Amino acid sequence: MATAVIEVEDLGKRYTLGETVGRRSVAEALVGGLRRLGRRPARDELWSLRDVSFDVAEGEAIGVVGRNGAGKSTLLKILSRITEPTTGVARVYGRVGSLLEVGTGFHPELTGRENTYLNGAILGMPRREIDRRFDEIVEFAGVARFLDTPIKRYSSGMYLRLAFAVAAHLDPDILVVDEVLAVGDAEFQRRCLGKMATVEQEGRTVVFVSHDMGAISRLCQRAIWLDHGAVEQVGPTNEVVQAYLASAAAAGQARFDDGLGSGPFVLHEVVVVDGDGRRIDHVLRDQAFAVELHFELRERVRGFDASVLVTTSRGVRLLDESWSDAAPEDPGAPGRYVARVTVPPMLNVGDHTIGVWFGTRYETFVYEPEVVRIGIDGSDADRPDRAVCLGLPWDVERVDGSGR
């Protein structure tokens, strides 16, 4: 049996809402003291994690899934020794390379070169080892032209590429990666996943948090599902992903009574309907269905866009369709809207989840990869593993010289 390099026992993390954390100026301390005179305000407590227990073996890649606010990032911060648990213990054996958020551990006034050495030193790497891997790090990050530029002038993508390159190339025993890979472009994401797979093949351990169930399924043999700070399920990745997707999405429709969104955008409802406009949660395999998005713009938003995502029960992203791909103009103007996209009869039988994204090129208002669930009924023609059924035309010609 492989040796455990991460042992988590009854882990809990409690935050007190409204409590000031860290150092304060004299003025802030005086104001705080005056506010407390004559009264002791009640403080609400929030448990980000509670009674979490699991082990990770040496050389294992394990995924962590769950909705926003489930406690995934808090768990990684504890494993990375960035924050301390309130209860329980997390034992981590070996050097940890962490990529938790863009630019963590970087100093904005230092150059890319200087930050590479600084980050390596923080990870406990001697300078000669950093020297040995330096060219490889720079090539992977693709920032050679800007190596002697202060990183405060880097774009978020450049930040991310350099941060990941340092964390992954300085030979950590355990590589901890949060959802920040979503910041990079598709090519960079593929390179990062490839690098994490290489780290695992070299016998090192990977802990990976992502909303991309396909990436989790490809990289990780086991997964942990966190829900409201507690472990809902631990087991083989396919089993955990299927259970998570089935529970994360409402059947056929999701209504947000208080609205969902930020800034000028509010999402009210996501609905699946058939060809007659009736709300459904199942459809026959040879029938099309539509996804309706009910939303509001409270002010004009230039470059406004929306996407509908369709994912299989195994976490494979099949569709990611934006109306900017087909529509010449975005709505943009204030008002209430119903946007509708039709999915042709192409999906194989089984459960699928539908997600949504709303935003602009520079800002995300809502990203919910699992909102509603639709079941596709019918026969899989004894081919359950295929994702789509396109019915492509065939043209067969006999070429042996005999008559047709």
Q: What is the CATH number for 325?
A: 2.70.50.60
Residue 195 sits in the same domain as residue 301? no
Average pLDDT for residues 225-242, to the nearest whole number?
A: 91
- Give the residue from 357, 366, 359 showing the smallest Cα distance to 303: 359
Residue 297 sits in the same domain as residue 360? yes
Q: In whole angstroms, what is the distance from residue 91 CA to residue 85 CA?
A: 11
Q: Which one of 84-88, 155-159, 193-197, 391-395 scores highest in mean pLDDT?
A: 84-88
| From 34-43, 74-83, 319-328, the region with the lowest mean pLDDT | 34-43
pLDDT: is 54 or 97 the higher one? 54
Helix, coil or strand: residue 160: helix
- 296 exposure class (CB count in 10 Å sphere: 0-12, 13-18, 19+): middle
- Give the residue from 77, 6, 56, 60 showing the smallest Cα distance to 205: 60
Residue 117 sits in the same domain as residue 91? yes
pLDDT: is 318 or 125 the higher one? 318
Residue 125 sits in the same domain as residue 53? yes
Residues spanned by the domain of 186: 4-26+42-247
Q: Is the pLDDT of residue 232 over 90?
A: yes
Q: Is residue 392 part of a domain?
A: no
Residue 268 sits in the same domain as residue 210? no
Break the chain down into helix, strand, coil percent, rounded to 5: 25, 35, 35
Last residue of a domain, one of 203, 231, 247: 247
Residue 217 sits in the same domain as residue 253? no
Residue 137 sits in the same domain as residue 229? yes
Last residue of a domain, one of 229, 247, 265: 247
The answer to whether 79 and 6 are in contact (CB under 8 A) is yes
Total Cβ atoms within 10 A of residue 368: 22
Q: How many domains does the chain have?
A: 2
Mean pLDDT of the chain: 84
Residue 51 sits in the same domain as residue 144? yes
Q: In whole angstroms, what is the distance from residue 79 CA to residue 66 CA?
A: 17
Q: What pLDDT shows up at residue 222?
A: 94
Strands 222-227 and 230-236: antiparallel
Q: What is the pTM of this model?
A: 0.67
Q: Is residue 279 part of a domain?
A: yes
Average pLDDT for residues 200-211, to the nearest whole number?
A: 87
Task: Give the CATH number of the domain where residue 216 resides.
Answer: 3.40.50.300
Q: Is the pLDDT of residue 214 over 60?
A: yes
Q: In whole angstroms, what is the distance from residue 397 CA to residue 26 CA?
A: 86
Residue 211 sits in the same domain as residue 66? yes
Residue 84 sits in the same domain as residue 230? yes
- pLDDT tens track for 250-273: 777 888 988 898 889 999 999 999
Q: Is the dihedral of CA 116, 118, 119, 121 positive or negative?
A: positive
Q: Is the pLDDT of residue 303 over 70?
A: yes
Q: Is the pLDDT of residue 43 over 70?
A: no
Last residue of a domain, one of 192, 213, 247: 247
Residues in the chain: 404
Q: What string of DSSP letters covers 143-176?
A: -GGGTTSBGGGS-HHHHHHHHHHHHHHS--SEEE
Residue 189 sits in the same domain as residue 281? no
What DSSP state is assigned to residue 249?
Answer: S
Q: Is residue 175 part of a domain?
A: yes
Q: What pLDDT shows up at residue 309?
A: 94
Q: What pLDDT shows up at residue 146?
A: 92
Helix, coil or strand: residue 23: coil
**pLDDT confidence band for 150 (50 / 70 / 90):** very high
Q: Is residue 340 part of a domain?
A: yes
| From 42-51, 93-102, 344-353, the region with the lowest mean pLDDT | 93-102
Q: Is residue 179 part of a domain?
A: yes
- Give the residue from 281, 295, 284, 298 showing the smallest Cα distance to 323: 295
Residue 205 sits in the same domain as residue 334? no
Q: Is residue 398 part of a domain?
A: no
Q: Is residue 385 part of a domain?
A: no
